[in-house]
Structures are given as structure tokens and as C-alpha cells.
Amino acid sequence: MAYSKNAPFRADVVGSYLRPDELKQARADYAAGIIDAAGLKAVEDRLITDLVAKQKAAGLHVITDGEFRRGWWHFDFTWGFNGVDHVAAAHRVAFHDEVTPADTATVTGKLDGHDHPFVEHFKFVKQFEDDNTVARQTMPSPAQTRFVLTGNKNAYPYDEFYKDDDELTADIVAAYRQVIADLYAAGCRNVQFDDCTWTRLCDKSVRERLGWSDEDAARLQQENLDVINTVIADQPDDLVINTHICRGNFHSTWLSSGGYAPVAAKLFGEENVDAYYLEFDDDRSGDFAPLAEVSGDKQVVLGLVTSKRPELEDPEVIKARISEAAQHVPLDRLCLSTQCGFASTEEGNKLTEEQQWAKIALVRSIAEEVWGE
């Protein structure tokens, strides 16, 4: 039996956790052929079981596998589709001060979402649900997957399989809907779309580097919205689909800067998710004014506690910022979380596991003071 409420929760998290050294070593041993897939899975299963126990002990209502079976927050999901392959990237992604490993995804056939490995991954976590917790499945948003696959078409053409991007997009939608249907059948009631596409459109320097005009940016916003909303359309009423909007989170570095204002009308006003998990941990995120665009009864999870640095925030400062945000979205539709996961990639951010759990304890204690739950 799962918890009677569903996400978002007053004290919440994005979903990824620092990988234990034992897991990193097992993944390296598997890549080197020292252990087989069964040997790796045995280590993953045991460490995920330990992680779920730690999440429950921390008082969280949401449990995840910490993304322990992934190297990347997004590519591993995309590689799980039929018709997509893991290849070397033509260009590494340049974060602030660092570049990422040279991995990407490319179209190698007609996309299909049947038998996606993440369904079995979810089933493993689902078994640990109890009357105080809900199992969450995170995945890159459909817009993120579209951005990756269409962005690689010059280096890795797919005209053998698709006549244009619209035809590919239709299959991306169908593949996502298949995976979500299979997750739902497995008992999943909380899906989270992780998305870095919107924030690229908030950063003028990123737009200039990618050669996007204002007209391009407006078109891309609509394309993002259309692919996401088409996946969400007509999903079961008891399936909660939320989204985490991110500016990049690799080894405590970041990809883009800028407030949400340039995309707020489309993102907050028209994307048909139930809640937004938003970065607000430093000046790069801008102010709270764009939250006035959040439509209907959608909720906002304020990512005010950073996962990038070990220092603990001042609770009084966080509470004051929650009050400031409540000028734009009512307090009863707000929640608190870390600004992102602790390890969007297997490298993880630059803090210890002890410091990670201290951050979550801080989120819990502030949420109890503000909302009494």
C-alpha cells in the first residue's frame, strides 16, 4: 500500500543521489568485463535497497532508486528505446569550468517504447512502497529527448528512417506514451520529467552560441510545449506527472543562467503538468516574479537548498524566500526541495553523503516549520 497522498510533498527531492564508491567500482568492473550484467545488478539491487531505507529514515514521502542504474540522468533513458543507440558525441557539452564525457544518443531505426528497461527498474523500487511513501520514476522530458535526437541529425543523419523532424517527434511521443503506460501498469503513479531545454532559452549567451534568433526561440518554446503536452494528454487521472526545470547539474557546475521570464507564459501557463520543481538556489535563477504565470491549481516546488555545495543554508533566509515566493503563488501550493539532484550524472556533485543527508534534513525541518507537515 502506497502513501495516500502523491507528489509533490512539502519536503521533497528531485531524485538522484550520490553514488557509493562500491557502485562506481562495480560499473567500472562491468565496463572492463571483470563482472557480468548479473554481477552488476546484484550490487545495484543491494545498494538501492540500502538507499531506500535511508530515504525512509530521512522522513521522505518519496522513494527513488537514486538513478543508481544510470550514468546520465537523460541518456540512459533514451538509450532504452528501440531504435536509439549509444554513440560518441561529436561535441562535448561545455558546462561552466568543465566539459561532460563524450556520450550521446542517435537514431538507428524506428523508435519504439516497448520493453523499456526502466519499467523493470521501477518495479524494483515499487516493492518498497509502504503507507508512508510513493515510488517515483524520473526520466528526461519528451522535449529533452527531442532536443538530443534532432540536435544530432547533422552528425548522425536519420533520413533513412524519418523524412523529417515531425515524423520523428510523432514516434518520440508514441514511445513515451508506451513507456508511461507500462509504468502505470506496473503501479507507477508519479512520473517526473527532467528538462534542461527551457532554461537554454532563458540564457542569451547560450542562444547566441547555438545561433538561435528570437524567432527560433519562440518556435522552440512551442515545439517543447507541443511534444510534452501530447505525451501528457489523456493520461489516467491518478497519474501525477511533474517536471523539474534545470540549468544543468554536472559535478557541481552549471550549463545556463537567467530567470524564467522569457519562457514563463508557455512553461508555467500552458504546460499541463501537475507541479514544477524549480531551481532557485542562487542569482542565476532570477526572481520569483515569473511564478505569477503559473496557471490553475498547479503547484511549485521551490529548489532553495542547493545540491551543488556542502554548506548548509540559513533556515531563516530560506523561510523568508518562501514568504517572498508566496506573493506570487499561494503558500498552500508551494513546497520545498533541493534545487536539483545530488548526482545528475554518476560523477556526482562535490559533497559527501553525510552532507547530502544533512541537506535533506534541512529541507525536512524547514518544511515542518512552514507548513506543519
- pLDDT tens string 256-308: 556 899 899 999 999 999 999 999 977 767 899 999 999 999 999 999 999 87
SS3 134: strand
Domains of the chain plus CATH, in order, are 11-371 (3.20.20.210)
Specify the residue for cell string 523499456. Answer: 116
Task: Report pLDDT for 92.
Answer: 42
Asked whether the predicted pLDDT for residue 317 surpasses 90, the reply is: yes
- Average pLDDT, integer, range 134-162: 88
- pLDDT tens string 109-145: 999 999 999 999 999 999 999 999 999 999 999 999 9
Task: Report pLDDT for 98.
Answer: 45
Phi-psi category of 33—alpha, beta or left, where left has phi over 0 and alpha has psi -120 to 50?
left
Handedness of CA 342, 343, 344, 350 (dihedral sign): positive
- Average pLDDT, integer, range 216-239: 94
Cβ atoms of residues 260 and 294 within 8 Å: no
pTM: 0.92
- Average pLDDT, integer, range 177-190: 98
- pLDDT tens string 16-69: 999 999 999 999 999 999 999 999 999 999 999 999 999 999 999 999 999 999
Task: Report pLDDT for 253.
Answer: 56
